[in-house]
Each structure stands twice: as C-alpha cells, then as structure tokens.
Amino acid sequence: MKFPLAGLGLIAFTAVANAQVPDPNVLERELQKSGVYMTATAKSQFRQLVAADFALGAEKAGFTPDQSSKFTNSIAIGNIRVVSGGVAGFYVADDGRATGPTSIPGNATPLVTYLLSFASPEKVGVYLQKFSTIKIEVQPAPPRDYKIVINGEACQATEKSEYKVMPGESSVNVSRPAMPACEWKGPIAAGQTQVVPCKL
C-alpha cells in the first residue's frame, strides 16, 4: 500500500496558543532521542510504513472510514496537528483533499490511544529495524567540520554519526577541507550496520 508523500515531517503536531507554534512531532522526537539521522528516502518510507499499519486497525479502533482514510493519508504526508479548543483540544488530519480536514477530540479514547501508539519508542524501534544503518567513524572527530553525502543526499554531521538508509546499495562520501575524500560503496541488508571508517 502506497500513499502520497510530501515534505520531510513524520506525524507533525502543532500546538496553538496565540498563534500556531510548531512543536516537535512525537515520532521525530523519538528519532532525535535515539540520535539516529534518517535520509530523506528512508523518512519517506518510514511514513509509509506507519500510515499503512495505522490503516490496518483504524476502523477497529473506532475511526470512521472517512476518518481512517484522512488520518492515514495525513500521516503519510506528515500533516497531523493538534489544535486548542473544547475540553482537550483536537487532533486534526488534513490530507489536502477538497473535502477538507477531519478531527478527533484530544480525549477521544481509544482513538487517541491508537493514534499515539505509533509514536511509542517500542513501535519506532520496530520500524527502524526495517532499515539499514551506516555508522561513520571520522578520525579525528572534532570539530564536526566535515561534509557527509549519503546516496547523493547531503546529511548533517551528528554526534552519534548513525544514518538510516533504505536496504540495498548505498554510497558514502565524507570530506573535510584540504583532505582527500573518504568514500565507500556497497550493499547493506535491512537491520544491518555498515561501519565506514574515515581518517580525515
């Protein structure tokens, strides 16, 4: 099952005070805690996996068919937000269709419980196992003034230096000013880690 994708967000939650202020979304927060960086392609696939799994049990959890469809598509494009109002606010799904957004109250158990179950550390960990990991070991590490390009995508140099990619063939290029580039290319299976040592 595939869903339209846009942007790099996962499930995007937006808090509303005097104005709408972006708040770190739950799924991405777990990724940030892990210190793992996901390439854009991996993030897209991550969202598709979450959306597909959400769709499987949404109606059983109490979502109407229309709510299930809109929340599924909105998860896939990273457009679930929480807004103030009522007793506990609302989770709003807007997939961009002409029929407009749909929402559920923030205290609508078990709907909210089901939605947020996909943001749990355990669930996120299961999804991450479906990807391959590239561990880049740069020596000397500090300062992080080197550039990392994975599969043609410029990636941020992070403290943990672990990058999730799609299983299969990957390429890595790490460069530092006035130093020869460090390059690696090869296949990586799902759930496996490829260590790329770079002396720069």
* pLDDT, tens digit, 9 for 90 and up, residues 125-157: 999 999 999 999 999 888 899 999 999 999 999
Average pLDDT score over residue span 92-115? 90
CA distances from 81 to 12, 68, 155 (A): 6, 15, 27
pLDDT exceeds cutoff 90 at 11: no
pLDDT tier, 81 (very low <50, low <70, confident <90, very high otherwise): confident
Average pLDDT score over residue span 9-30? 45
Distance in angstroms (rounded) separating the CA atoms of residues 150 and 51: 26
Domain boundaries, the chain: 13-126, 131-199
Distance in angstroms (rounded) separating the CA atoms of residues 191 and 149: 21
Phi, psi of 31 (to 5 degrees): -65, -40
Q: pLDDT over 90 for what percent of the chain?
A: 58
Average pLDDT score over residue span 87-109? 89
Average pLDDT score over residue span 98-124? 90
Q: Which of 26-30, 31-35, 45-49 has the lowest mean pLDDT?
A: 26-30
Distance in angstroms (rounded) separating the CA atoms of residues 16 and 73: 23
| Of residues 73, 113, 64, the one with CA closest to residue 93 | 73
For residue 187, whether the previous peptide bond is cis, meaning omega lies within 30 degrees of 0, is no
pLDDT tier, 25 (very low <50, low <70, confident <90, very high otherwise): low
Query: What confidence score (pLDDT) does residue 13 get?
Result: 43
CA distances from 118 to 49, 163, 185 (A): 10, 21, 33
Average pLDDT score over residue span 36-49? 93
| Average pLDDT for the chain | 85
Query: What confidence score (pLDDT) does residue 29 get?
Result: 67
Beta bridge partners of residue 199, listed in sequence order: 139
Predicted structure pTM score: 0.81
Q: pLDDT over 70 for what percent of the chain?
A: 86
Residue 174 · residue 146 · CB < 8 Å: yes
**Class of the CATH-defined domain 131-199:** mainly beta
| Of residues 161, 192, 38, 61, the one with CA closest to residue 117 | 61
Residue, of 15 and 123, whose pLDDT is higher: 123
pLDDT exceeds cutoff 90 at 87: no
pLDDT exceeds cutoff 70 at 194: yes
